[in-house]
Amino acid sequence: MRAAGPLVTLMAMTIVGSACAGNPRFAVDGERALARVKHQVDAGPRIPGTPGHAAVRDWIASELTRLGARVERQSFVDSTLAHPLPLINVIGHFGTAGRRRIVLAAHYDTRPWCDMDPDPAHRDDPLPGANDAGSGVAVLLEVAELMAKRPPPVAVDLVFFDGEDQGRETHAGEYSLGAKGYAHRLGDDKPTAAFVFDMVGDRDLDIYPELRSAEHATNIVAMVREAARATGARGFRDSPAQPITDDHVPLLDAGVPAADIIDFNYEAWHTHRDLPDQVSAASLAEVARVAAWLVYASPIARAR
């Protein structure tokens, strides 16, 4: 992902809500999520076409199958870059298909370069991708653990996008290739809402509503704020910050109300320091509880 404008510095306003983190519906395991982040990094770079990419893709599909999902591999070739790029989105379908469907999404590919590294010697290194890819995948799999034990009240698709982070910094159109392919194939079968989780494991969690989401999916962003209050999440803020080019944009363009849940105040962004030691089990658990609330207790889930 890339920032679409200058960083807006806002006063941090900690949200303190009626904590329901102890509710069995939201009993996530942050240490298990952190272990999944480490597993992804240990697999190596997840650049499309590399062994690490294939290994993590197959591992995600295997985890989803183990947890009771109907797994779909959405394969296509994207021609945005200078060469045809085969991509595979992995989708885990949970719940009973119906008129309401929630999408929780994250990307699993990693950047081919550490182009924002302060050390020029590392700028051609592939990104380790602990927070930037690994954290979102881990959060979604924690939600899958819950849904394996207790079916959600609404259909839920966990979508693991390929090809999010293969673009050049100054070329916004080269990003979110998997999300574009997914959105293009939705047709009239659009989800009620989508929530994208990206860079959500920072030890110093600081998540502001993303500006495009706040402008074009106001009600969905409000649900995220409500989820943060309800679960006692302390790393979520009220006031929108800058616009970000991320996987929610193709969804918004396709008419899907979508929110980007992202901590862009991450010092290791696109550097060789994006390693598991920058990620915390507590942050992963906090975000996973928010995601679980969206699945089990949001207005979409409660609607009849």
Percent share of the chain, pLDDT over 90: 85
What is the bridge-based pairing of β-strands 2-3 and 193-198?
unpaired
Q: Kindly tell me the sign of the dihedral angle through the C-alpha atoms of 296, 298, 300, 302.
A: positive
* CA gap 273, 259 in Å, rounded: 27
E strand intervals along 145-257: 155-161, 193-198, 244-245
Q: For the segment 201-211, what is each residue's pLDDT rounded down to a tens digit? A: 999 999 999 99
Confidence grade of residue 2 (pLDDT, cut at 50, 70, 90): low
What is the pLDDT averaged over residues 208-235?
96
> Is the model more confident about 303 or about 196?
196
Task: Report whether pLDDT(184) > 60.
Answer: yes
What is the pLDDT averaged over residues 86-98?
94
* CA gap 51, 58 in Å, rounded: 11
Q: For the segment 269-281, what is each residue's pLDDT rounded down to a tens digit? A: 999 999 999 999 9
Confidence grade of residue 17 (pLDDT, cut at 50, 70, 90): very low
| CA nearest to 99, candidates 31, 164, 192 | 192
* Whole-number pLDDT of residue 170: 86
Confidence grade of residue 254 (pLDDT, cut at 50, 70, 90): very high
* Whole-number pLDDT of residue 6: 39
Place of tokens 């080269």: 174
The b-or-e profile of 138-160 (16+ CB within 10 A means b, else e) is bbbbbbbbbbeeeebbbbbbbbb
* Whole-number pLDDT of residue 15: 32
| CA nearest to 107, candidates 166, 164, 57, 34 | 164
* CA gap 223, 165 in Å, rounded: 27
What is the pLDDT averaged over residues 95-124?
95
Task: Report whether pLDDT(25) > 70.
Answer: no
What is the pLDDT averaged over residues 175-184?
97
* Average pLDDT in the chain: 92
Altogether, the residues listed in the chain come to a count of 304
What is the pLDDT averaged over residues 205-225?
97
* CA gap 46, 60 in Å, rounded: 13
What is the pLDDT averaged over residues 63-76?
98
Task: Report whether pLDDT(68) > 90.
Answer: yes
Give the 3-state secondary structure percentages of the chain, helix then strand then coil, rounded to 5: 40, 15, 45
> Is the model more confident about 58 or about 9?
58
Token pair for residue 119? 């050390």
3-state secondary structure (DSSP) of residue 207? strand
- Nearest 10 degrees: Cα torsion 9, 15, 21, 25: -80
* Whole-number pLDDT of residue 126: 98
**Domain 13-109+119-302: CATH class, spelled out:** alpha beta
Q: What are phi and psi of 215, to 5 degrees?
A: -80, -35
- Helix (H), strand (E) counts: the chain: 9, 8
> Is the model more confident about 230 or about 98?
230
Domain ranges for the chain, please list them: 13-109+119-302
